[in-house]
Structure 1
Amino acid sequence: MKTISNAAGTFLTGTAIADAIMEYATALWNQRRIAFVDIPFVNGQGVIERAQFLIGWANQIATVSSRAIGSELREPATEQNLRDEAKKTIGVINAQPVETPDYTVFDTFDL
C-alpha cells in the first residue's frame, strides 16, 4: 500500500494504483498538461472510498510506502486506464511539421 499526498490531503491506496498515478502525473507534467483522476482509497476507519483530484502540471503529489492495514487495495481497470493514459500522453507531440520555406520571397540585400 502507498499513501498519495497532495494539496487536498493524504490518501491510502494500493501500490499499483499509486505507481500508475505517478507515471501518468509525470507524463502530464512533461507535457504541461493536467488531468482529473478518480481512485479508490482506504479512509481512517478502513472503509474504501473514492477520491477525485487533479494531477500533472503545477499539481504536486508524492507517494510514500505504507504498511498494509489489510489486503492490498487493487482496482485493475483503474490501474490499466491510468497507465494507458500515461502512454498516450507521452506520445503527444505539440509541434506541427514545417515544409521547407521558400526563401525566394525575400528581397536580397548586401551586408
Structure 2
Amino acid sequence: MKEYKDSKEGKKRPPLSLDKIAEIENTSPPDWDRLLADVIKLKPGDEDADRYEKAIEALFTAMFYPSLSNPISQHKIHDKRKRIDITYTNRASTGFFSLDCPPLSVFPDSHRMQEL
C-alpha cells in the first residue's frame, strides 16, 4: 500500500471535462445556449421563482464545474430558520475560487427583484 501511495504522490489528475463526462455517460454535453435561454426567458416575481432557481442552478453547475460542485438547493441554516438558495462545495485548487483562503462553500444568490 505504501508503494502505491508513494507512486501517486504529486501526480494529481485533473478532473474530467464536461465533454469527457458526456462521452463516458453517453449523454450530450451542456447546451450553453439552452441553459442561458432557460434563465433569461423567465419573468421576475414569485410566479417563476422556483423555475428561475432551478435554471440558475443548472447554468451555474455547468459553468463553474469543476471548481464548484455538489449543489444543494434551499440549504437550511441557523436551526432551519434561514435558507440559502443554492450552496456549492468549493473544490477549486486554482483560479478565482481558490484564492489564498478559499471558503468551503459558495452561496450564489438567485433572488429576483420585481421590475420597477
TM-score tier (shorter): under 0.3
Of Structure 1 and Structure 2, which has the larger fraction of its residues in helix?
Answer: 2
Q: TM-score, normalised by structure 1?
A: 0.23
Determine which structure has greater relative contact order: mean sequence separation of CA pairs < 8 Å that are 6+ residues apart, divided by chain length.
Answer: 1
Of Structure 1 and Structure 2, which has the larger fraction of its residues in strand?
Answer: 1
Q: TM-score, normalised by structure 2?
A: 0.22
